[in-house]
Amino acid sequence: MKIAICIKHVPVSEDVEIDPVTHSVRRIDATCDMNPCDLNAMEMAAQLKKATDSSIDVYTMGPDGAAASLKKCLALGADEAYLLSDRSFAGRDTLGTARVLADFVKRKSYDIVFTGAESSDGATGQVGAMLAELLGMPDVADAVSVEPDGDGALLIGKKVQQGTLKIKARGPVLLAVPFGCNEPKLPTLRAQMKANHKEIHVLTGKDCDPSVLENLEVKSVVTDVYPAPEANKQAKEITGTPKEIAIKIQKLLEGSEQDV
Amino acid sequence: MSEIVVYAQITKNGLNPETAELVTAAQEVAKVSGETITVLAADDQAPLYEDALKLDGVSDVILLHTIGIGEMQTDVLSEVMADVITSRDVSTILAPSEHQARALLSRIAVKLDAGMTAACKELKPEAVDGKVVVHQIKSSFGSQGLVTCDITTKPAIITLIPGSYEAAPQTGTPKIQVIEKENLTSALEVLDFEESQSAGNLLGARRVVCVGKGAIEGENFSLAKSYAQKINAAFAGSRPMADQHWIDFEAQIGESGTVIRPEACLICGVSGAIQFTEGIKGDPLVIAINKDPKAPIFGFADYKVVADMKDILPELLAAADQK
């Protein structure tokens, strides 16, 4: 099988300072790494590769620094890595991002495309399904497992609120993998050092279909950023000895006391 | 006159209760724009929800009866819904931000070449030069910031987080239209469903005891679990607890886990980032125990106990025994 995975290189911390007057945003720590649930997706892809004799291509769109996350994937079992990097790709919204990714991913006929369920920074969770639509594939949101059924189809486990749904996909499919559904391995030092020497294929606007480049206008525009108001709920404090506190909590939980 | 479309998501458990909240959000926009509100559902069971969708302020209900096709089959649902939307004059589409609805609307955004903003908490419609712009307010950078977004396309697709608006009452008298959709084929086949024990308990639970990283120390975890059992409450945890395998993936409360609607909730040793509190809906009674007096969870709780849970939990077990 031919597997693709699309990942995002994100800031590790969401800690920011937002100036209440100018509304400018300053990141306190600019360190970036692979998006957490993309590691879960990579783990699922690597397991599938092991079980089925498949190949894995990894894609990301971002600045040069994003190559670090691609190298992590190479160390975890990906075979080829593609960095989609161009000034014209920068600052795009989810639809623009999906269009650029789709333009490159569609050139190879993948049987399965993995993404993380959402990024830890933008957290829109939209790019995966948009990419699936552009690739003409169905998508499974919150896919927690995948295995071949032996008959050319894939059996997919999908997390829903009350449990797991089993879904069968007869053709190519995109799976959006949620955080925490498996235990991602970390690359060994040896694998990482080897991966660091592998070539990263850099694709730019020149490699992109011109009609895609013409249609990258941002359609959901951020017009302002400001600090969130402090939570204004005032919790009443329960005080006393641990025993007194426990009795009050117990009564509140039983609903036998409305106030303390 | 253009219209606002509210997507009524039908899941295995029935109609997403957020639908009525979305209708209220649509009414807020309609007050400024003067538009009408149409509710659109697409599901194998759609005709069953005619009465539930007679919501205040709704002019039209369109039920796409997609025979044999349910919410998981977004490849088909996106197509039939996009057909309806393009045949009408739609300015704005409102939908729940829940993952399945979000995926469906993302596909529709591609088909309609429409801008889409995720997980908004408030809409601010404004009349500008004879046109109505619906500004979208959403959280960003964890809980530290709010951003305002504008969508430049028509239609604009906006998903809203649950609890953003009050639910509209079922007092509307809309025109109901059922459209039969037969012979639809999806590339996905839904086989069977495996219920998860912990998630099942958690969802229906009236009372929930929830632990965070603070419970990893000493006997705290087992004491909290015993207390939950004793008072017949469901037991759950925050994301770090699931990451470190103290609880099942399904027993994790939060934006990326299970969303609960209990009547009362005891939260021990959880700092209370928005990613966690987004998992507790329906405004239950919340009691939080944390030794950090500045823990953000105290801004979410009704009652706070500034203490080490190791001092309180044994006494709670004793108090439960005395019943």
Q: Fill in the DSSP letter of residue A199.
A: P
Question: Residue B191 carries which side chain, given as an amino acid letter?
Answer: L
Whether B21 maps to a domain, the answer reads yes
pLDDT at residue B198, as a whole number? 64
Task: Judge: B315–A178 Cβ closer than 8 Å, yes or no.
Answer: no
Determine the average pLDDT of the residues in A48-62. Answer: 95
CATH number of residue B116's parent domain:
3.40.50.620
Same structural domain, B279 and B175? no
Q: Measured between alpha carbons, how far apart are the two ends of chain A, in Å?
A: 63
Average pLDDT, chain A: 91
Cβ(A105)–Cβ(A113) below 8 Å: yes
Number of domains in chain A: 2
Task: Judge: A242–B307 Cβ closer than 8 Å, yes or no.
Answer: yes
Same structural domain, B203 and B155? no
CA distance B173 to chain A (A): 32
Determine the average pLDDT of the residues in B29-57. Answer: 97
Chain B environment of A179 (Cβ under 8 Å): 239, 256
Determine the average pLDDT of the residues in B158-174. Answer: 92
Report how far apart, in Å, the C-alpha atoms of A238 and of each of A249, B207, B233, B259, B286 are: 8, 19, 21, 27, 12
Chain B environment of A231 (Cβ under 8 Å): 296, 299-300
Determine the average pLDDT of the residues in A159-177. Answer: 91
Same structural domain, A57 and A16? yes
Among A126, A219, A225, the residue with its CB nearest the CB of B147 is A225
Same structural domain, B91 and B47? yes
Same structural domain, B161 and B85? yes
Same structural domain, A168 and A59? yes
Whether A223 maps to a domain, the answer reads no
Strands A80-84 and A200-203: parallel
Residue B8 has pLDDT above 70, yes or no: yes
Determine the average pLDDT of the residues in B172-189. Answer: 96
CA distance B79 to chain A (A): 10
Same structural domain, A208 and A235? no
Q: Fill in the DSSP letter of residue A206.
A: G
Task: Judge: A167–B191 Cβ closer than 8 Å, yes or no.
Answer: yes
Average pLDDT, chain B: 92
Whether B51 maps to a domain, the answer reads yes
Whether A8 maps to a domain, the answer reads yes
* Residue A88 structural domain: 2-213
**Which tens digit of pLDDT belongs to each residue from B126-137?**
998 888 999 999
Chain A environment of B250 (Cβ under 8 Å): 159, 163
Residue from A160, A230, A233 whose CB has the most chain B CBs within 10 Å, to mutate? A160
Determine the average pLDDT of the residues in A132-158. Answer: 95
Task: Judge: B191–A166 Cβ closer than 8 Å, yes or no.
Answer: yes
Task: Judge: B187–A138 Cβ closer than 8 Å, yes or no.
Answer: yes
Whether B188 maps to a domain, the answer reads no
**Which tens digit of pLDDT belongs to each residue from A195-245?**
999 999 999 999 999 999 999 999 999 998 888 776 567 889 999 999 999
Task: Judge: A231–B300 Cβ closer than 8 Å, yes or no.
Answer: yes
| HEC letters along chain B | CCEEEEECCEECCEECCHHHHHHHHHHHHHHHHCCEEEEEEEECCHHHHCCCCCCCCCCEEEEEEECCCCCCCHHHHHHHHHHHHHCCCEEEEEEECCHHHHHHHHHHHHHHCCCEEEEEEEEEEEEECCEEEEEEEEEECCCCEEEEEEECCCCEEEEECCCCCCCCCCCCCCEEEEEEECCCCCCEEEEEEEECHHHHHHHHCCEEEEECHHHHCCCHHHHHHHHHHHCCCEEEECHHHHHCCCCCHHHEECCCCECECCCEEEEECCCCCHHHHCCECCCCEEEEEECCCCCHHHHCCCEEEECCHHHHHHHHHHHHHCC
ipTM: 0.89
Kindly state whether A143 is in contact with chain B, defined as any CB-CB distance less than 8 angstroms.
Answer: no
pLDDT at residue B200, as a whole number? 59
Nearest CA in chain B to A37: B256
Residue B203 has pLDDT above 80, yes or no: no
Same structural domain, B45 and B139? yes
CA distance A225 to chain B (A): 4
Same structural domain, B173 and B243? no
Q: What percent of chain A has a predicted confidence (pLDDT) above 90?
A: 70
Task: Judge: B299–A123 Cβ closer than 8 Å, yes or no.
Answer: no
Same structural domain, A203 and A259? no
**Which tens digit of pLDDT belongs to each residue from A9-21?**
998 877 778 887 8
Q: What are phi and psi of B91, to 5 degrees?
A: -95, -40
Chain B environment of A232 (Cβ under 8 Å): 299
pLDDT band for position A64 (50/70/90)? very high
Among A181, A226, A252, the residue with its CB nearest the CB of B146 is A226
Among A126, A163, A253, the residue with its CB nearest the CB of B195 is A163
Determine the average pLDDT of the residues in A55-76. Answer: 96
CATH number of residue A186's parent domain:
3.40.50.620
- Residue by residue, DSSP assigns A21-72 as TT--EEES---EEE-HHHHHHHHHHHHHHHHHT-EEEEEEES-GGGHHHHHH
Same structural domain, A252 and A176? no
Kindly state whether A134 is in contact with chain B, defined as any CB-CB distance less than 8 angstroms.
Answer: yes
Question: How would you label B255-270 residue by residue, b for 16+ Cβ within 10 Å and e otherwise?
Answer: bbbbbbbbebbbbbbb
CA distance B296 to chain A (A): 8
Same structural domain, A14 and A140? yes
Same structural domain, A237 and A209? no
Cβ(B201)–Cβ(A152) below 8 Å: no
Q: Measured between alpha carbons, how far apart are the two ends of chain B, in Å?
A: 63
Same structural domain, A241 and A157? no
pLDDT band for position B275 (50/70/90)? confident
Quote the CA–CA distance of B79 and A98 in Å, as a whole number: 18
pLDDT at residue A260, as a whole number? 47
CA distance B279 to chain A (A): 12
CA distance B124 to chain A (A): 13
Chain A, window 65-124: residues with a beta carbon less than 8 angstroms from a chain B beta carbon: 93-95, 98, 117-118, 123-124
Task: Judge: A180–B242 Cβ closer than 8 Å, yes or no.
Answer: yes
End position of a domain, from candidates B121, B150, B181: B181
Chain B environment of A220 (Cβ under 8 Å): 115-117, 149-152
Q: Fill in the DSSP letter of residue A215.
A: T
Same structural domain, A111 and A201? yes
* Residue B291 structural domain: 197-321
Number of domains in chain B: 2
Cβ(A43)–Cβ(A124) below 8 Å: no
Determine the average pLDDT of the residues in B39-64. Answer: 97
Whether B105 maps to a domain, the answer reads yes
Same structural domain, B126 and B36? yes
Residue from B140, B154, B232, B306 whose CB has the most chain A CBs within 10 Å, to mutate? B140
pLDDT at residue A227, as a whole number? 83
pLDDT at residue B248, as a whole number? 84
Whether B169 maps to a domain, the answer reads yes
Task: Judge: B233–A253 Cβ closer than 8 Å, yes or no.
Answer: yes
Chain B environment of A245 (Cβ under 8 Å): 305, 307, 312, 315
Kindly state whether A179 is in contact with chain B, defined as any CB-CB distance less than 8 angstroms.
Answer: yes
Same structural domain, A77 and A159? yes
How many of the other CB atoms lie within 10 Å of CB of B178?
Answer: 13
Whether A18 maps to a domain, the answer reads yes
pLDDT at residue A61, as a whole number? 96
Quote the CA–CA distance of B215 and B268 in Å, as a whole number: 7
Q: What percent of chain B has a predicted confidence (pLDDT) above 90?
A: 72
pLDDT at residue B223, as a whole number? 94
Task: Judge: A222–B148 Cβ closer than 8 Å, yes or no.
Answer: yes
Same structural domain, B235 and B143? no
Nearest CA in chain B to A255: B264
Residue from A26, A211, A214, A250 whose CB has the most chain B CBs within 10 Å, to mutate? A250
Whether B57 maps to a domain, the answer reads yes
Whether A59 maps to a domain, the answer reads yes
Same structural domain, B12 and B153? yes
Whether A224 maps to a domain, the answer reads no
Same structural domain, B39 and B152? yes
Same structural domain, A111 and A237? no
Whether B65 maps to a domain, the answer reads yes
Whether A221 maps to a domain, the answer reads no
**Which tens digit of pLDDT belongs to each residue from B219-271?**
999 999 999 999 989 999 998 898 888 888 878 998 777 878 888 999 999 99
Same structural domain, B45 and B105? yes
Same structural domain, B164 and B201? no
**Which tens digit of pLDDT belongs to each residue from B60-91?**
999 999 999 999 999 999 999 999 999 999 99
- pTM, two decimals, is 0.85
Cβ(B252)–Cβ(B236) below 8 Å: yes
pLDDT at residue B197, as a whole number? 65
Whether B171 maps to a domain, the answer reads yes
pLDDT at residue A19, as a whole number? 81
Task: Judge: B72–A235 Cβ closer than 8 Å, yes or no.
Answer: no
Cβ(B55)–Cβ(B165) below 8 Å: no
Quote the CA–CA distance of B160 and B168 in Å, as a whole number: 15
Determine the average pLDDT of the residues in A83-101. Answer: 94
Same structural domain, A91 and A138? yes
Whether A207 maps to a domain, the answer reads yes
pLDDT at residue B250, as a whole number? 79
Chain A, window 186-205: residues with a beta carbon less than 8 angstroms from a chain B beta carbon: none
Whether A192 maps to a domain, the answer reads yes
Task: Judge: B118–A126 Cβ closer than 8 Å, yes or no.
Answer: yes
